[in-house]
Each structure stands twice: as structure tokens, then as C-alpha cells.
């Protein structure tokens, strides 16, 4: 699932069309049945009923019918259809009316889900003016700002969502985290450096910078940044695992093992360090320890494709071909779309 769709699905819980709008003002006549079906979680039946009403010329106002069609399509997981229904009738709904607000809110979310972020922003901004406490919609707006490379705007919205000052180190960190989730590491790196400049001991900032450095293959930098994080948070399990990964890629196997063992002591239920330890012990020629670590990784994450694959490779080298084939087969199934 894409990040915009996941965010908008969360925001959809807050779409007022599903309840509070209709509680205040239900459409008159036959359209009230369409609204009732939407509110009951039956958007496809609502669309069918609306089609019947329109065929019998009993749907009333085209704007009211278009509003209900757009809301129903959004809740039927058809955001593109919601945009097609709502965009033409928005201007026909009275400014400031409940119907106009509903249409603008759903249209903004539908545009967001379909990746039309620039068009979504003014609709989400309008919604935020009359629903400032709606955190889901505010977060969607912040993500839309990130997607359109407006870091100052996204930081302001996310700071408001999390209740921190917009120019604080924490706000820069929150903004960077949102950017990393959207795979905008270059933007995130700038925000993280601003966060550290404002507060050199801010937890997680050096860790995330180290994560970006590791991802880009800047291994010495990744080690340095991750070690700085550990000076602030010595028991940071993810940072210890990241440090072990960086050391392992640098060929410093003993240093990698030490860091990864500490990661497990800090959080024994996280599968990544077990996988990395398995690979490290394989490099040292300790097959028994490697197998134990890889099986522990699978125990905590049975769908860890890499752990099954590496274990299969190890078992092949040990001549345990039947077990190896089973593990490699699991890895292959997890790689295929059906195995996900």
C-alpha cells in the first residue's frame, strides 16, 4: 500500500460525510436514502440507489446528487471517481455550507490518495480552517506539503499536529521522519542537520542521519553518526543494529558482532540483528552460531525472506540439501506476489 493511500485511509475515519454532516442536515426527499446507505457503510448500494433515482428523474438537485456520488465513491475505494463527481459541482454548493465543506474535505482526500498533491493542498487547507482539531486531515496536509517539496510548510503543520514549536529541533526531526517515510532522503538530511544544529543531543537525529549515510554507502560516515547517537542513547537497539550493519559492510566482523549482541540485549525481539549476526558468524566460519542466529531471526519474523535465503545458503554449504531446499523454497515464495 502506498504511503498516501495509507494516510488517507486513516483520515477517512474522520471524514465527516459518514456521520456528523448528515446528522446536522440530511438531503431532502429520495436522496436521504442514499445518505443513509453511505452512513451504514454501504457505499456501493448507495451508488446503485442513486443511479435508480437519476434514471427515474427523482435525484433532485444535480449538485446534491453529485455530492453524494462523490462521497459514496470515496468510501467505495474509488478516489478517482470521487474526484470526477465532486470537482464539477463544488462551485455550485453554497460557500460556507455544510455540503460545501463536506465536498471540499472529501475532494481534498481523494486528490491526495490519487497523487494529485498540488491540487489537494488548497482543499485540505480549506478544510483545516474549519476543522483545526482534525489531526488526520492535518497530517495528510503535511504529507502533501512534503510531496510538493515545501519543507517549511510541512514542518509547520506537523509541529502543530505533535504540539511542538515550528522552529524547534523536534519539529525539524518530525519533518525529517515524514520525509524518510516518503523516501525523500535528501530533504530529510537537511532537516536533520538543522535539528542537530538546534539541539546536538536530540535523540534519533544522528541515528537517522546515519541511516541515510548507510543507505547511500557512506559507511565510515554511518559509523561515526551512529556512534554519536549511542553517546546520547547507549541502549538504542536500532542504532546498535545499524552500527553492526555498517561495521559488517566494512569487513570489521568482530566489531559488528559486538554491536549486534548489544542490540539483542537491548531488544531481543527484533529480527534484524539476528540476521546480521548470522551473516557475521558465517564470515568467521562459525556455522553453528550462524545457524542459531538465523533460526532465531525466523522465529521472530517468519516472513523474513532474507533470513530464509541466507539460512538456505548456509545449509547448502553444510551438505544438508533437503533442509536447504525447504528454506530456499520459502524464500522464493515470500519473494513472489502471492507470498507477500
Question: SS3 string of 279-299?
Answer: HHHHHHCCHHHHHHHHHHHHH
pLDDT of amino acid 27 = 52
Q: Is 60 exceeded by the pLDDT of residue 19? A: no
User: How high does pLDDT run on average in the chain?
Assistant: 90
Q: How many CB atoms lie within 10 A of CB 239?
A: 29
Is residue 82 a contact partner of residue 105, using CB atoms and an 8 Å limit? no
- Domains annotated on the chain, with CATH: 1-131 (1.25.40), 149-198 (no CATH), 203-269 (1.25.40.10), 271-340 (1.25.40.10)
Q: Is 60 exceeded by the pLDDT of residue 232? A: yes
pLDDT of amino acid 334 = 94
Q: How confident is the model at residue 139 (pLDDT cuts 50, 70, 90)?
A: very high
Q: How confident is the model at residue 252 (pLDDT cuts 50, 70, 90)?
A: very high
What are the cell numbers at 34? 442514499
Q: How confident is the model at residue 14 (pLDDT cuts 50, 70, 90)?
A: very low
pLDDT in tens, 270-307: 999 999 999 999 999 999 999 999 999 999 999 999 99
pLDDT of amino acid 7 = 53
d(CA 236, CA 293): 20
DSSP character at residue 26:
P
Read off the pTM.
0.83
pLDDT in tens, 151-164: 999 999 999 999 99
pLDDT of amino acid 335 = 84
The dihedral formed by the CA atoms of 129, 133, 139 and 140, expressed in degrees to the nearest 10: -50
Handedness of CA 204, 205, 208, 209 (dihedral sign): negative
pLDDT of amino acid 337 = 55
pLDDT of amino acid 119 = 97
Is residue 40 a contact partner of residue 49, using CB atoms and an 8 Å limit? no
Is residue 106 a contact partner of residue 17, using CB atoms and an 8 Å limit? yes
Three-state SS for 179?
helix
Segment 320-335 mean pLDDT: 95
pLDDT in tens, 60-77: 678 988 999 999 999 999
What are the cell numbers at 179? 520525509
The residues, ordered by sequence, that sit 6+ positions from 172 with a Cβ below 8 Å of its Cβ are 155, 191, 192, 194, 195, 198
pLDDT of amino acid 52 = 85
Angle at the Cα of 134 (from 130 to 139), degrees rounded to 5? 115
Q: Is 80 exceeded by the pLDDT of residue 269? A: yes
Segment 235-249 mean pLDDT: 98
pLDDT of amino acid 121 = 97
Is residue 179 a contact partner of residue 187, using CB atoms and an 8 Å limit? yes
Amino acid at each position: 500500500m502506498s504511503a498516501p493511500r495509507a494516510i488517507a485511509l486513516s483520515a477517512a475515519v474522520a471524514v465527516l460525510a459518514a456521520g456528523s454532516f448528515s446528522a446536522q442536515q440530511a438531503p431532502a426527499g429520495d436522496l436521504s436514502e442514499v445518505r443513509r446507505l453511505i452512513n451504514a457503510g454501504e457505499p456501493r448500494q448507495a451508488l446503485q440507489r442513486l443511479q435508480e433515482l437519476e434514471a427515474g428523474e427523482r435525484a433532485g438537485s444535480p449538485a446534491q446528487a453529485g455530492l453524494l456520488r462523490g462521497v459514496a465513491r470515496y468510501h467505495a475505494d474509488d478516489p478517482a471517481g470521487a474526484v470526477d463527481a465532486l470537482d464539477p459541482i463544488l462551485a455550485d454548493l453554497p460557500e460556507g455550507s455544510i455540503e460545501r465543506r463536506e465536498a471540499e474535505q472529501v475532494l481534498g482526500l481523494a486528490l491526495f490518495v490519487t497523487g494529485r498533491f498540488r491540487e489537494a493542498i488548497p482543499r485540505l487547507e480549506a478544510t483545516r480552517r474549519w476543522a483545526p482539531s482534525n489531526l488526520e486531515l492535518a497530517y495528510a496536509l503535511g504529507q502533501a506539503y512534503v510531496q510538493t517539496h515545501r519543507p517549511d510548510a510541512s514542518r509547520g503543520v506537523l509541529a502543530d499536529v505533535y504540539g511542538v514549536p515550528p522552529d524547534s529541533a523536534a519539529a525539524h526531526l518530525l519533518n525529517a521522519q515524514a520525509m524518510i517515510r516518503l523516501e525523500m532522503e535528501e530533504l530529510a538530511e537537511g532537516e536533520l542537520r538543522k535539528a542537530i544544529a538546534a539541539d546536538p543531543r536530540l535523540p534519533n537525529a544522528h541515528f537517522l542521519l546515519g541511516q541515510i549515510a548507510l543507505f547511500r554507502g557512506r559507511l565510515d560516515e554511518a559509523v561515526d553518526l551512529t556512534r554519536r547517537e549511542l553517546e546520547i542513547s547507549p541502549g538504542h537497539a536500532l542504532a546498535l543494529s545499524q552500527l553492526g550493519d555498517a561495521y559488517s559492510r566494512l569487513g570489521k566482523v568482530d566489531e559488528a558482532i559486538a554491536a549486534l549482541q548489544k542490540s539483542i540485549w537491548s531488544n531481543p525481539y527484533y529480527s534484524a540483528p539476528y540476521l546480521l549476526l548470522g551473516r557475521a558468524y558465517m564470515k568467521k566460519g562459525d556455522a553453528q552460531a550462524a545457524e542459531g542466529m538465523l533460526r532465531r531471526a525466523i522465529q521472530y519474523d517468519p516472513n523474513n525472506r532474507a533470513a530464509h535465503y541466507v539460512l538456505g545458503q548456509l545449509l547448502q554449504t553444510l551438505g544438508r540439501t533437503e533442509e536447504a531446499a525447504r528454506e530456499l523454497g520459502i524464500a522464493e515464495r515470500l519473494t513472489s506476489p502471492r507470498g507477500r
